[in-house]
Amino acid sequence: MSGRVKAQFSENALRVLEKRYLRKDDRGDLVEGPEEMLWRVASSVAGAESAYGEDPEEWAARFYDMMAGLEFMPNSPTLMNAGTPRGQLSACFVLPVGDSMEEIFGALSATALVHKSGGGTGFNFSNVRPAGDRVRSTSGVASGPISFMELFDHTTEVVKQGGTRRGANMGILEASHPDIVEFIKAKTEKNKLTNFNISVGVSDAFMRAVAEDGDWRLVNPRTGEVARVIKASELWDLLTESAWKTGDPGVVFLDRIEEGNMVPGCGRLHSTNPCGEQPLFPYESCNLGSINLIKLADRRGAVNWKRLEEVVRTSVRFLDDVIGINTYPLPEIEAMTKGNRKIGLGIMGWAELLFASGLRYGSRESVELAEKLMGFVQRIGHDESASLAERRGNFPNWKGSLWEQRGRPMRNATVTTIAPTGTISLIAECSSGIEPVFALAFRRKAFDNDTLVYINGYLEEALAKVGESSSAVLEQVVNSGTMADAPVPHALKEIFVTAHDIPFGEHVAMQAAFQKYTDNAVSKTINLPHSASVEDVRQAYLMSFGLGCKGITIYRDRCKESQVLYHGAGEPQGGQAPPPGEGGHAKPRKRPANLVGSTVKIKTSFGNLYLTLNHLGGRPFELFATLGKSGKDTQAHTEALGRLISLSLRSGVPVLEIIEQLKGIGGSQPVFENDGIILSLPDAIAQGLERALGQTVELARDDMCPSCGAPTIHAEGCLRCVSCDYSKCY
């Protein structure tokens, strides 16, 4: 078996592949290379062709060439698991959550199996009775949906540590639920649901009530009775204020989603996958893949429409074949998935295509191109699905579907989705999904602790064409993250915009343009500058509803920077610093003979860590750190950290800032300790300091990747690194 295309991956892509995708033996040594991985995937997926009288080897070669040329990439589980004993290839799942303990814990068990297999899960918790409601079997009171969401969240935290892919969840609660206020505030007031994206499910009736300043009824799902009546506008204000503060919750427009329900006989669509782009029925899964636009256009942005059609058709066939060879975590999931055979073909590399075309992201011309391009992908995708149906048969639930009503055969109930492409876009060396770029240039730590500077290739070309040296503007672009103040022609500034240069209205208009020609939904984050107001958030939400989007997620830059939460007694903020020494620098205070402190023990992969935190004048003053049964080098590193922390404390650095810097640093050997996880020695020290102080710090700085040191951004509902494969969701 051979293909015509030689796979060429960048150094960064190879690093991602080696870390996440290439197969390893029991010792952790690589047993395949990138081309072998692509052949493994291509030949495994093409195995489905034999059932339809086709030649699997011929289609394996076509699939391989398409992936080796970086024209198309399937979702991560397919790259990881195709042709392996695990064999689970789907990215997104939705699971039902009922009101009984049996149903809830059954969903919890299913969640663990899905996450173990590499998938993400979505839930609608609106059937769970509200907190304080009656529980007849025990004569007690219910704890409510948020308490059970915490249970799902903790399960995700436990399961994700052993897999190749981090578990992620979407939690939806409908605006009519009596606990909706607590749900909206859940990620604002407390350090909760860290493995959840949350969205409020709203109906057209709710949006009308908001517009008319009308009353809104909160209804107990168990009894159907009205629990209380509030002003819809007050709930809307709370929602937008919370999103302004923390980025959560998003909004899902349930009636708009239902309008796109091609199989109404299967029920209503009221849940989505973790990033919101895939509405699914309970127990349904979907297989996603994305076309890399920059490989289908020249350096001037001219699209090769003929090749794009070929890639769309081959991709639809590939994704349909995935359904046939997939291994499903539960029989219910297999039945629902094969009943509707939903696939989700989308795009990536949109930002680079606009750079090459000389079009500003969000301009009228760019929106028109978005509609033209996605309209083409959808039309060809539907045509190919219809052709497959004529040869292979319609999807089993076609009878009674909207496709039958339209008189059109279809192999797949849905065909197109704009998905987040965080890691596969890194492999393909392009921008993620339909997002703008988040950095035109950035610094990144290298393996030898050097700092490297990366600059966008299209920007380098453009600077060269106008006679500008990239080095003349590079430092300013790196420091500011934008071209706005760089000494370059205005025309370049107009084209090379980044996410925070773009007004929210243009972000929303772009999402709506793609949604117009997308069967499922569109994953995109509406990025706002730090200076954005609550009213900006409110208008973005209203605009997305008015333009026909199926949901919206916003993120205000650095919105969590002032949201660090402190619980319990401890050091007050803004405490007086010690007097400065010579040269204006803080002078470490001298240690008295006697100090009062406390010692905590915390488990690490190197043995038990003993931390003694001493105080002076009620403030933390020094830290002694000792590891039991560790090697000399590890103990030396631990002692060094303790000494540096002590020096910082004696120099007036607030202990909470020290905790924030150390907490969350990842290591190669995380361990479970009590009801949490210790990621590394620095993380253990941070958590030990928290225990010694009796307070908790919620990490707020999302600006640096813990893996490679490059900038991180909020995109498609997830925290994601712009350089390596790190993601908080996947």
**Amino acid in position 329:** P
Cβ contact 608:601 at 8 Å: yes
549 is catalytic: no
Model pLDDT for residues 585-615, shown as the tens digit of each residue: 457 888 887 888 888 888 887 788 888 999 8
CB atoms within 10 A of CB 475: 12
List, in sequence order, the alpha helices (H) in 406-449: 422-428
Q: What is the DSSP letter of 130?
A: P
Helix axes 56-68, 34-46, angle to 10 degrees: 140
Cβ contact 377:291 at 8 Å: yes
Task: Give the pairing of strands 120-124 and 169-174.
Answer: parallel
Model pLDDT for residues 551-563, shown as the tens digit of each residue: 999 999 878 653 3
Model pLDDT for residues 108-138, shown as the tens digit of each residue: 999 999 998 888 999 999 999 999 998 877 7
The whole-number pLDDT of residue 665 equals 79
* C-alpha–C-alpha distance, residues 188 and 246, integer Å: 6
**Which residues partner with 279 through β-bridges?**
272
494 is catalytic: no
Split at pLDDT 50, 70, 90, the class of 692 is: confident
CB atoms within 10 A of CB 682: 18
Cβ contact 321:45 at 8 Å: yes
* C-alpha–C-alpha distance, residues 209 and 174, integer Å: 15
- List of residues 6+ apart from 235 with CB closer than 8 A: 175, 180, 181, 184, 216
The secondary structure element, H or E, covering residue 554 is strand 551-556
| Structure-token pair, residue 168 | 């992620």
Overall average pLDDT of the 143-171 stretch = 82
pTM: 0.81
Comparing 621 with 630, the larger pLDDT belongs to 621
Model pLDDT for residues 211-257, shown as the tens digit of each residue: 999 999 999 999 999 999 999 999 999 999 999 999 999 999 999 99
Cβ contact 434:291 at 8 Å: no
- List of residues 6+ apart from 136 with CB closer than 8 A: none
Helix axes 180-189, 232-246, angle to 10 degrees: 20
**Amino acid in position 134:** R
CB half-sphere exposure, 499, CA atoms < 13 A: 26
Split at pLDDT 50, 70, 90, the class of 12 is: confident
The whole-number pLDDT of residue 725 equals 61
277 is catalytic: yes
Rg (CA), the chain: 26
From the list 174, 195, 266, 275, the catalytic residue is: 275
The residue with tokens 């989705």 is 417
From the list 169, 195, 261, 273, the catalytic residue is: 273
From the list 71, 174, 277, 309, the catalytic residue is: 277
* C-alpha–C-alpha distance, residues 292 and 72, integer Å: 6
Task: Give the pairing of strands 285-292 and 596-604.
Answer: unpaired
Phi-psi region of 698 (alpha: psi -120 to 50; beta: other; left: phi over 0): beta
The whole-number pLDDT of residue 574 equals 37
* C-alpha–C-alpha distance, residues 343 and 323, integer Å: 9
